[in-house]
Amino acid sequence: MRTIRKFPLSDLEILKPKILNWAQQYEEIVWLDGNDYPLKEKLFQALLAVDAFTALKTDAQQGFDKLNEFQVATEDWIFGYLSYDLKNDVENLNSNNHDGLHFPDLYFFQPKKVFLFFEDYVEIQYLNLVADEMEKDWEIINKVTYEDKNRTGNNVAIRSRTSKEQYLQKANGVLEHIKKGNIYEVNLCQEFYSENATIDPLQTFLQLDKISRPPFSAFLKLSELYALSASPERYIKRNGTRVVSQPIKGTAKRSKNKEEDIEFAKQLIADPKERSENIMITDLVRNDLSRIAERGSVKVEELCGLHSFEQVHQLISTISCEVSPNFSSVEILRNTFPMGSMTGAPKISAMKIIEEVEDTKRGLYSGAIGYFAPNGNFDFNVVIRSILYNSLKKYVSFSVGGAITINSIPEKEYDECMLKAKAMRQVLEDILLV
């Protein structure tokens, strides 16, 4: 079905803008990049899929059933995304808030051309019907010229869907739910957006990626729909019978002063409020995995581990389990979706409160971008620290959020949101990168 060849690779960082520029000729693109971040469970340095042979685009109704049918029937690479609003297919929920982006709830495609990047070589897999284009494509890619820029060329005026005063009222409302015992934790998010906006999606992504260097970076183009993701978070991965999820909860700012930066990290590790956020979500993910796990196989391999990124320090936990080799990959997603770090605990109650208090339909934000391999293995990020863009509607959006718990101080939660928004705002407002 596919013709496979390997070519030597000297420097992925030099090749990255070249191959992404080359890929822009296609209507469907997914680029997934680990940015050489030292995170475990990594199979590839990066992956690129372009040019749909077949595709599935649908709303939430029976979304997972349709995805399962597509994945099983294809028995090939498929790349795409799951929007947060597929929660409505998993539970009796709805999504009625404002939506300026209009992304389908689920979108996957079978690419004609796949590139798998390893340490010192690239493996190229083309469907046989386009196999004769492989050599020429690789030659063209390596000849692409690219000028590294420190500016995006954007001039976008960012507005907030939720004012600071409104956010504080919402956070206090969530705290009332917590005090009444209705909920333990809610991930409260807010949208920043611009209408009548024109951006260069690729240049914006390259600059966002450059200043963030995240382990789950993604560039997605599906016709007029774009996701430019600098995500540091893995939702879930399957490799054979092993399944791993790595929720993030707990955030601290970084400093250019080394001693101060170390102190911020120490404070985060010791902060009881930040640790409790993480531990609650770790328990939630353990519970999600237990639905599909072999008995007694769910393990917390790392609890509240410190991981430092370009803008922030974060606490990440790693939870794993074993599943039957016959267990459907899509069923694993159905039983764990959406990622607990983006909802709260208990999960269903949290999602109901989120729909009540937030001003925007989340859509792809806090959903997942990733792939299925031909053998059913998969890997998906969590769509956070990401810019979403509908070029037809000229609407650009990014959202940020944080966990509200009993110990939350709304002003500090708002400040944490602004910290997380910094990189997206920087590239959209074309602030000089240093």
User: Residue 308 is inside which H or E element, if any?
Assistant: strand 299-308
Nearest Cα residue to 157 out of 189, 191, 192, 203 = 192
Judge contact between 209 and 310, C-beta under 8 A.
Answer: no
Give the phi and the psi of residue 136 in degrees, each rounded to 5.
-65, -45
DSSP letter, residue 91: S
- Counting every residue written for the chain, the total comes to 434
Q: Alpha helices of 58-129 — where are they, by DSSP H?
A: 63-74, 87-90
User: Residue 222 is inside which H or E element, if any?
Assistant: strand 216-222
Structure tokens at 185: 């934790």
**Which of 28, 185, 191, 233 does the annotation list as catalytic?**
233
In whole angstroms, what is the distance from residue 351 CA to residue 343 CA?
6
Judge contact between 409 and 207, C-beta under 8 A.
Answer: no
In whole angstroms, what is the distance from residue 255 CA to residue 311 CA?
9
| Active-site residue flag, 256 | no
**Which of 87, 170, 237, 249 does the annotation list as catalytic?**
249
Nearest Cα residue to 206 out of 25, 19, 44 = 19
Q: Alpha helices of 28-127 — where are they, by DSSP H?
A: 63-74, 87-90
Q: Alpha helices of 271-391 — where are they, by DSSP H?
A: 272-290, 329-336, 347-357
Side-chain-side CA neighbours of residue 370 (13 Å): 28
| Active-site residue flag, 6 | no
Active site residues: 233, 249
